[in-house]
Amino acid sequence: MNTKQIHKFVNRYLEATDCSIIEKSPAHFTVKLSPNADRELTNRPYYWSFVDRVGAEPETMTFLFVTDKEKYESGLQTDPDPAKPEAPDSQASAADAALVRSFGFINSSVNAPRVPRQDVYFGSQRLEQLFGAAKSHGSFVYLFQESDKRGGSPFSSTPYTAWLGVNIKVEFACDRKREEIHSFGVSLVTGYCTDHFHDRLLEIRLTPRLPANIHVAKNGISYAKAQAIIEQALERKLKAYDYTWAGDAASRLQEELDRIDTYYKTLLQHATDENKPAIQEQYEQRQAETRWQYEPRVTASAINCGVFHLEGID
Amino acid sequence: MTSDNKTQNASDNGQTFTKRKLHPHVDLQIDRSWFDELQHRLSRNGPWDDWTLYQLAMEAEQAKRVESFEQLQCLRTLPSFEPMPHQIGTASKVLHEMGGRAILADEVGLGKTIEAGLVLKEYMVRGLVKRALILVPASLVLQWVRELNQKFGISAVAQKKEHTWGYDVVVASMDTAKREPHRERVLGTDYDLIIIDEAHKLKNKKTTNYQFATQLRKKYCLLLTATPIQNDLDELYNLITLLKPGQLGGQSDFAANFVVDKRLPKNEDQLQEALSSVMIRNRRGDGGIHFTKRFVKNIPLNLSPEEKALYDAVTGFVKERYDESGGDLTSMLSLVTLQREVCSSRDAVFLTLVNLFKKTTEDSPLRPKIWELVEKIKGITANTKAEKAMELVKEMNDKVIIFTEYRATQEYLLQFFRAHNMMAVPYRGGMNRGKKDWMMDLFRGRAQILIATEAGGEGINLQFCHHMINFDLPWNPMRVEQRIGRVHRLGQTEDVKIYNLCTLGTIEEHIVNLLHEKINLFELVIGELDHILEKLEGGESLEQRLAKVLLQSGNDQDLKRQLNTLGSSISQIRNEVKSSGSNPYSPGPDLLVKMDRLGQSVEVKP
């Protein structure tokens, strides 16, 4: 993700969670979080449990998210706006840091709310948290395609098909790892299964509300059947892959196990009876570690999924 | 569900998954928990999530996806610094060719910590490491935590309380980890990655450290050391057995195949070959490390008549005690301190005299003599050295660190500078971590002067300061070197200026002469001194030898002659050391075994 993509990502997250953006540029956002986003991002479980119990009006936090550090800081230098809360003067900040250590945090200006600055870059903990927040509230959806056919006869009804869609992450791992993402959709009417389903969804407009003048065709298969179809499709696809890497990993594993065998068998031969149990234990521990390290495995897990009602009968 | 007999269903702590065979070597494991949750929500008609967040979740996964087995993913997540090419090369080799178990044995100054950090980060990004344990000497714990957090964005935690072990990435000292109650927690955990810094401390397999290390349960493991072998080829064997038992065969195979004598290897090419799959050693190029220049200036000072009178009185006092004791050296060493203290400040000598006074019995004939000395102290009104130091500081008009051996002198100087409206902050070994950091911050910020009694410890890296005043000199050359090392180190971009304040006609003059002219201490490369002292010492430290010479010599002439002898023997050793090239900063220090093919040669510029 480059800074532009991150900026867009942050923007869409803040809008989707109803945060109020106080100020923004292509390099930053100053934003007062919505209660939902605050719960998700500020790690203040005690505060929120207090608000929930007492029923108090929550005071959410305000942040300065900097998505493009260089651009933001060069903007600061050209823009002599004294209201900006941060002045990266090393001397002053060192002194502040020292004061914070002995007295705790001190608000530099008592009236202004504290606006902590956070740099959001790929790999930063804040972005990682935004990723997690998106996932925790973007996992299960139930949506309808918005019809493009406006002004059609109010008496005609468009047929819709319900699809089970799921995005799957597949991990290929041994002592190393790579990943793939697959997206399957199965028509609950016919059982037809398609690949790249997510891309298809991105091309249309979706809404949680049931549109007017449509009817959803009767499901021909159960959800469980649809799920089984997806698993079979995935399995069929994966079976066709090249597993040289796994073969290599397995032979590395065997090589390592052989080496351990030779070492410990000699050691056991020469050990006194007293020492044997300890050596045997270490031997087994090393074997277990080596399997853990090298054993090739493929795992599939869902990123998110949903039921999508799309135009037409497929 | 198909009734395929290869398919197993399992339910494990609420997670449902199935296993199918994909290939003779691999099973496919499918997690089905999503489907259960979806059905649950369908049956209750929601709640349903937001479509935008659904898309964002997918985008996040796409961005984080690890596309290939090979390419280093962590590099794009490190905006705050750029690793050097050999560090990246080392990290990829550990990840791709060594299966994540390796000895990182780069020479000092090439960044083993960075290499280990890269490996850790890469495994974390790939989701292969979640729990990691980093065992380091106690003095390096906080430095590691800081580096991992700042450079790598890894939330590492220093082990403090027992519950700290619950965190994913913990940095702890080996000594703590191996003690109960910690031991049980640590040995009871399966760590995805264990990093052990200064791993040469594990070379003896009879030690508790070694035995503890063998009991750790780990998937990946990195051992960091600049000196994988120092005295004995077995050390190397033991280290490798921790990582890959059997890599060099059984103990007897190793002895038969690779060892002539414990310090002499054979079949070195095969040995290097066998090592190449577990060890990486990058060396500094022919240029060694390019340090900035170092300028040393001795500032000779004449004591004021009052100070001189005190010095002479104290010298007489010490000599008298020595003669009385009949040449017993051990009890005299502390008295020599008195003489040295006079050269520093009257406060220092006063404190020692008071302590001495307290120790004597009430009717001791010493008491009036000590009192006499105290009277002399009262006569002193100014400190020649302090005034000179202030003059120097004002001239420099820059950050400066002043080192002294004595707490009392430190206190005095703090007051002295404060009285002259100059901001000075103290630094000493007894301060806790937080206070030390605070003092560092102040010095980096507003304070012009740092007055330190302690040079050891990693806490004070002062690359931003390039002036140093030795208010007095320790007699232990290693401590002098530590002082210099705080300022003159990698990352120092300016030439370093060192001033030694030296009072004429005192022992200080002799010491400065010895350290400067004879050992040439101020021009030695870091690490060289170690070798010189190692060769010199016959059980006695240089400090003890000096005291002995000082007490035994009858007069000044005699003293000069004896110091000269000592000096010449040291300079002789120095020349030997220089020519044998056993300086750790010079390329290719002597490691018993050839390791030139285990890494690359790197030119380092500060």
Residue A237 lies in a domain: no
pLDDT at B88: 92
Residue A223: pLDDT band with limits 50, 70, 90: very high
Tokens for A73? 């800081």
The residue among B293, B282, B277 whose CA lies nearest residue B83 is B282
> H helices of A55-182, where?
69-78, 90-103, 125-136
Per the model's pLDDT, the better-predicted residue between B461 and B297 turns out to be: B297
The verdict on B500 and B445 lying in the same domain is yes
Q: Is residue B592 part of a domain?
A: no
CATH number of the domain that residue B526 is part of: 3.40.50.300
Give the range of the structural domain holding residue B193, as residue numbers without chain letter. 74-281
- The A residues from 235 to 264 touching B (CB cutoff 8 Å) are 235, 238-239, 241, 243, 245-247, 249-250, 252, 256, 259-260, 262-264
Task: Find the range with the poorest average confidence among A23-32, B145-154, B442-451, B560-569.
Answer: B560-569
In a domain, B333, yes or no: no
Q: Is the pLDDT of residue B155 over 70?
A: yes
User: Residue A265's domain spans which residues?
Assistant: 244-295
On whether both A62 and A211 belong to a single domain, the answer is no
| Range name among A72-81, A130-139, B221-230, B416-425 with the lowest pLDDT average | A72-81
Question: Domain check: are A83 and A24 in the same one?
Answer: yes
Spatial distance between the Cα atoms of B474 and B365, rounded to a whole number of angstroms: 32
How confident is the model at residue A151, as a pLDDT? 57
Q: What phi and psi values does residue B303 have, to the nearest 5 degrees? A: -65, 150
Q: Where does residue B295 rank: exposed (0-12), middle (13-18), buried (19+ CB within 10 A)? A: exposed
Averaged confidence pLDDT in chain B: 82
Same domain, A169 and A305: yes
Chain A residue with minimum CA distance to B123: A176
pLDDT band at B586 (very low <50, low <70, confident <90, very high): very low
The Cα–Cα gap between B309 and B379 comes to 10
Q: Is A304 found in the same domain as A212? A: yes
Determine the residue type at B231: N
Portion 279-318 of B in contact with A at CB < 8 A: none
Q: Is residue B139 assigned to a domain?
A: yes
B442/A16 touch (CB, cutoff 8 Å), yes or no? no
Task: Tell me, yes or no, if A50 comes closer than 8 A to chain B by beta carbon.
Answer: no
Residues B105 and B32 in one domain: no
Q: Is A82 at the interface with chain B, CB within 8 A?
A: no
For B290-325, write each residue's pLDDT tens digit. Answer: 667 888 888 889 988 888 889 888 888 888 888 787
Across the interface, do B26 and A243 touch by the CB < 8 Å criterion? yes
- Residue A236 in any domain: the answer is no
Domain boundary residue, one of B45, B64, B83: B64
Higher pLDDT: B263 or A123? It is A123
Chain A residues in contact with B437 (beta carbon < 8 A): 101
Smallest Cβ–Cβ distance between A303 and the set B41, B58, B437 belongs to B58
The distance of A81 to chain B (nearest Cα, Å) reads 25
A40 lies in the same domain as A187:
no
Query: What is the percentage of chain B residues whose pLDDT exceeds 70?
Result: 87
- Evaluate whether residue A176 is within a structural domain: yes
Same structural domain, B79 and B130: yes
- Does B357 map to a domain? no
Asked if A175 and A304 sit in the same domain, the reply is yes
With contact defined as beta carbons under 8 Å apart, do B387 and B469 qualify?
A: no
**B444 near A CB under 8 A:** yes
Q: What angle do CA B17, B22, B24 make, to 5 degrees?
A: 125
Question: Does residue B9 carry a pLDDT above 60?
Answer: no
Q: Which amino acid is at B8?
A: Q
Whether B217 has its CB under 8 Å from any CB of chain A: the answer is yes
Domain count along chain B: 3
Write out pLDDT tens, residues A304-313. 999 999 988 8
Task: Tell me: do A224 and A248 sit in the same domain.
Answer: no
- Which chain A residues contact residue B68 at CB under 8 A? 178
Is B67's Cβ below 8 Å from some Cβ in A? yes
My answer on whether omega of the bond before B300 falls inside 30° of 0, hence cis, is no
Same domain, B409 and B472: yes
Select the more confidently predicted residue: A172 or B508. A172
Element housing B439 (H / E) = helix B433-444
Check whether residue B472 and residue B492 sit in a common domain.
yes
Q: For A286-296, what is each residue's pLDDT tens digit?
A: 999 999 999 99
Predicted pLDDT at A153: 66
Give residue A106's pLDDT.
47
A206 and A290 assigned to the same domain = no
Per-state percent for chain B, helix, strand, coil, to nearest 5: 50, 15, 35
| Vertex B572 angle, CA B568 and B575, to 5° | 140
Q: Does A99 touch chain B (CB under 8 A)?
A: no
Report yes or no: A43 at the B interface, CB cutoff 8 Å: no
pLDDT score, position B273: 85
β-bridge pairing A62-66 and A28-32: antiparallel
Residues A127 and A98 occupy one common structural domain: yes
Q: What type of residue sits at position A253? A: L
B464 and chain A: CB distance < 8 Å anywhere? no
Final residue belonging to a domain, choices A104, A134, A164: A134
Chains A–B, number of C-beta pairs less than 8 Å apart: 254
Please tell me whether residues B396 and B262 are part of one structural domain. no
Residue scoring higher pLDDT (B16 or A118): A118
Contact assessment for residue A222 and residue A184, using Cβ atoms and an 8 Å cutoff: no
Contact criterion met (CB < 8 Å) for B52 and A138: yes
Specify whether B49 is located in the same domain as B150: no
- Confidence band, pLDDT 50/70/90 cuts, at residue B528: low
Across the interface, of A289, A304, A305, the residue whose CB is closest to B218 is: A289
Please indicate, yes or no, if residue B564 is contained in any of the structural domains: yes
CB contact under 8 A, A169 and B438: no
What's the pLDDT at B524? 66
pLDDT at res. B603: 67
Say how far apart CA A119 and CA A107 lie, in whole Å. Answer: 21
Give a yes or no: residue B26 inside a domain.
Answer: yes
Q: Which of residues 370-399 of B touch A (CB under 8 A)?
A: none
DSSP one-letter code for A142: E
Residue B271 belongs to a domain with what CATH number? 3.40.50.10810
Characterise B36 by phi-psi region: left (phi > 0), alpha (psi -120 to 50), beta (else).
alpha
How many other C-beta atoms are found inside a 10 Å radius of the C-beta of residue A233? Answer: 16
DSSP-derived secondary structure letter, B518: I
Residue whose tokens read 């499901």: A219
Indicate whether B222 and B83 sit together in one domain.
yes
Are B57 and A300 within 8 A, CB to CB?
A: no
- pLDDT score of B81: 77
Q: Is residue B305 part of a domain?
A: no
> Among A210-224, B88-102, B123-137, B530-544, where is mean pLDDT lowest?
B530-544
Which of B10-19, B152-161, B399-408 has the lowest average pLDDT? Answer: B10-19
Contact: B48, A173; criterion CB under 8 Å: no
Which of B3, B18, B30 would you mutate first to test chain A, the one with the most A CBs within 10 A? Answer: B30
* CA B350/CA B374 separation, integer angstroms: 7
**Is the domain of B455 the same as that of B402?**
yes
Q: Is B142 on the interface with A (CB under 8 A)?
A: no
What does the alpha-carbon distance between residue B553 and residue B560 come to, in Å, rounded to a whole number? Answer: 9
Residues B49 and B90 in one domain: no
Q: What is the predicted pLDDT for the residue at A149?
A: 64
A288 is a domain residue:
yes
Range B241-267 average pLDDT: 84
Q: Please enumerate, as own/partner, the contacts of B9-13 that have beta carbons within 8 Å and a separation of 24 or more.
A: none
Better pLDDT: B73 or B579: B73
Same domain, A15 and A159: no
Residue B503 lies in a domain: yes
B10 inside 8 A of chain A by CB: no
On whether any CB of chain A is under 8 Å from the CB of B12, the answer is: no
Q: Which of A92, A121, A178 is closest, CB to CB, to B68?
A: A178
Residue A107 counted as domain residue = yes
Per CB-CB distance under 8 Å, the chain A contacts of B243 are none
Total domains in the fold of chain A: 3
A235 domain-assigned? no
Residue B436 main-chain phi, psi, to 5 deg: -60, -45
CA B284 to CA B581: how far, in whole Å? Answer: 14
Q: Are B430 and B513 part of one and the same domain? A: yes
**pLDDT for position B402:** 93
Query: In terms of domains, do A89 and A57 share one?
Result: yes
Higher pLDDT among residues B523 and A161, named by residue: A161
Reported as a single tens digit per residue, the pLDDT across B310-363 is 988 888 888 888 878 776 766 677 788 888 888 899 889 888 888 888 888 888
Residues B53 and B82 in one domain: no
Does A303 lie in the same domain as A159?
yes
